[in-house]
Chains A and B, each alone.
Chain A
Amino acid sequence: MKRLSIFAVNIVLALCQIALVAAFSSWSILPNLFLIVVVWFVLNHQAKEGFITAIFGGLFMDLYSGHLLGIGALGLIALWFVLMFTSSEFFSREASLPLLISFLVFGSIFFQVMTIFQINVLHFFFNDAQSVEINATLIFRQALAILANLLMLYPLSTLLRKMLKNGHEPQPF
């Protein structure tokens, strides 16, 4: 895929994420579009695009999240590594929707656990870093966030297929 295409995809994703935040500002749970796209890229054998999206998206979200810069990016990169190892077991030219759903649920849980873990670990090192208390409310909210990600999976898949129609070929990293 051309660099311009992946750049365009990331810009569009960033704009969509901003729009989502603006449109549903009263909701505390929003889908993470970058996470969905990283999963989609990896399962569709676009490893390089998935990695770039993980870095760009992670840093972009961190910039506006109030966390330390890089926490989200690290979480998405770690997810990318895990998906790269596991998805090779399910290799096919194009990932089916059930497979995408399964990996997205797994990816969402993994990313959330990673983020909470990082924040809590960093809390010990840096006094000004926030800590996250794990309780029933948090678990419920994270479950809703996974649901929100799942809801956005199909429209995003369709959008990505249209945007990358000409360059959708499996490429090595």
Chain B
Amino acid sequence: MGKKQWMKPFFAMVVIFLLVLTDGFGLLDLFKGGLLAATQPVVRFVSAVVLDTKNLFGTVATVRQKIVERNELEKKVKTLEAGIALLKVEQEENVRLKSLLSLKQRLPYSTRTAAVVSADLSGGSGSVIVDKGLNDGVGNGDAVIDEHGNLLGVIRETYVSSSKFSLLTDGSVKIDAHVPGKPALGVVTGSHGVGLKFDFISQETTLDQGETVVTSGLSGRLPEGILIGSIDKQQSKGSDLFQKISIVPAANLKDFQYVLVITSF
């Protein structure tokens, strides 16, 4: 570079130095304000674009983190749901056991609490297997009642540590029964696994719908007074020798997990 070529930059430097001094005296405020006003839209636009992009990346990262958190929470929720389901089952079991215990203490009979092992509740055989058997004092013909004291069925087969009972609705079950307060003795039998019949009742006896039917205890195999069900409909004709009446079972024959077996009375 020659001396002349250095002049231009040097002159520019002097001008800039004068600019600094001028600004120091506050004479460039208007000029600076104008420059800022002119360039600010671009600066704002670029800043906004950069910030939006930055926020977008931040949002994407946050969304990804939230997705991971949601998946973890979903897993936890599923685990908790399973736990809650288990607790509900245990709660139901607890309520039933408490009810059974309460009933057991109130009943004047000797009973054994038994848990249902398996059941054919489809109506085919109407048999239920429970976890108490000969070792627990359970014998054939013993009455099986639910937690409310309603008759469920009668023990049919006994094994060492389990036994099988037939539900009331099973066709093979026959129970001596009567209507309290009325001279209505008869036999309750299962009706093809779907209902109950109250048979062999004298035609002279008048029975109304809703009246309760209980065990009579005449056979000596079941205690007297266990609730079987309530009168539903008259099924016999006037010319029949005996009345035949359908009964609505008092026990819920589809939903029970624990039962009481009356071993002696």
The answer to whether A and B interact is yes
A62 to chain B, nearest CB (A): 9
Q: Does A122 contact B (CB under 8 A)?
A: yes
Q: Are B50 and A23 in contact (CB under 8 A)?
A: yes
A173 touching B8 in the complex, CB below 8 Å, given contacts A22-B47, A70-B17: yes
Range of interface residues on B (Cβ < 8 Å): 20 to 34
Q: Does A80 contact B (CB under 8 A)?
A: yes
Q: Does A116 contact B (CB under 8 A)?
A: no
Chain B interface SS verdict (over half): helix
Chain A residues whose C-beta falls within 8 Å of the C-beta of B28 in the assembled complex: 69
Chain B residues whose C-beta falls within 8 Å of the C-beta of A51 in the assembled complex: 9, 12
A22 touching B9 in the complex, CB below 8 Å, given contacts A63-B39, A69-B20, A125-B24: no
Q: Complex formed: what's the CA distance from A71 to B13 in Å?
A: 11
Q: Does A163 contact B (CB under 8 A)?
A: no
Binary flags per residue of B26-37, CB closer than 8 Å to A gives 1, else 0: 001000100110
Binary flags per residue of B1-45, CB closer than 8 Å to A gives 1, else 0: 100010011001100110110011100100010011001001100
Chain B residues whose C-beta falls within 8 Å of the C-beta of A95 in the assembled complex: none
Q: Are A74 and B20 in contact (CB under 8 A)?
A: yes
Q: Does B51 contact A (CB under 8 A)?
A: yes
Chain B residues whose C-beta falls within 8 Å of the C-beta of A118 in the assembled complex: 20
Q: Complex formed: what's the CA distance from A55 to B9 in Å?
A: 10
Among the stretches A13-21, A33-41, A132-140, A148-156, the one at the interface with B is A13-21
- Find the A residue at minimum CB distance from B9: A51
Chain A residues whose C-beta falls within 8 Å of the C-beta of B39 in the assembled complex: 63
Q: Does A84 contact B (CB under 8 A)?
A: yes
Q: Are A63 and B35 in contact (CB under 8 A)?
A: yes
Q: Does A81 contact B (CB under 8 A)?
A: yes
Q: Are B35 and A18 in contact (CB under 8 A)?
A: no
A56 to chain B, nearest CB (A): 11
Chain B residues whose C-beta falls within 8 Å of the C-beta of A98 in the assembled complex: none
Neighbour of A70 across the interface among B23, B42, B43, B54, CB < 8 A: B23
Nearest 6 CB-CB pairings of A with B:
A70-B20, A22-B47, A22-B50, A70-B19, A69-B23, A126-B24
